[in-house]
Amino acid sequence: MRELVMTFKDKMSKNSMLLACIGILYLWFGMLKFFPGVSPAETIAMDTIHELTLGLLRPKVSLILLAIWETGLGLLLIFGLLNRFAILLALVHMILTFTPFLFFPELTFTQAPFGLTLLGQYIMKNIVFLGLLVFLLDKERKKKEV
């Protein structure tokens, strides 16, 4: 078993491993959204998309579209396909995950701007992914230049 893990590790760069780890989270959270009532982010996701689209999308349709986006993105990142495109899609998604702070401050803050609710903390952790994605996008850009 150890040989199998070492072979896998040798074949993957550190950047690929980071992308795959982010991809696993995207796949996991995206898959949850296909099953009503399973994702803890379901309600805030539907409410946020409703605000972002000015109510043009029905909530259940918006949730399915988000599930497709996140799941597809997860698969791209896990399998290392279209890395630059996938990272850009993930960056857009990550930036949009912060919009509940603007639309629903009563749900995200106990005392603005520093006191966060559990939902606010759930969203704020995305800053780590945002930083990693910017780092990985820079690495992808440099790889293209070589």
- For 91-125, the pLDDT digits (tens) are 999 999 999 999 999 999 999 888 999 999 999 99
Containing structural domain, residue 51:
14-145
Please give the tally of structural domains in the chain: 1
Quick one: pLDDT band at residue 145, thresholds 50, 70, 90?
confident
Is 2 domain-assigned? no
Is 5 domain-assigned? no
Is 102 domain-assigned? yes
DSSP state letters, 67-128:
HHHHHHHHHHHHHT-SHHHHHHHHHHHHHHTTTHHHH-HHHHEEETTTEE-HHHHHHHTHHH
User: Bigger pLDDT: 146 or 137?
Assistant: 137
pTM of the model: 0.84
- Angle at which helix 59-79 crosses helix 42-52, to 10 degrees, equals 110
Is 40 domain-assigned? yes
Is 9 domain-assigned? no
Query: Residue 2: enclosing H or E segment and its boundaries?
Result: helix 2-11
Is 124 domain-assigned? yes
DSSP state letters, 33-75:
TTSTTT-TTHHHHHHHHHHHTTT-S-HHHHHHHHHHHHHHHHH
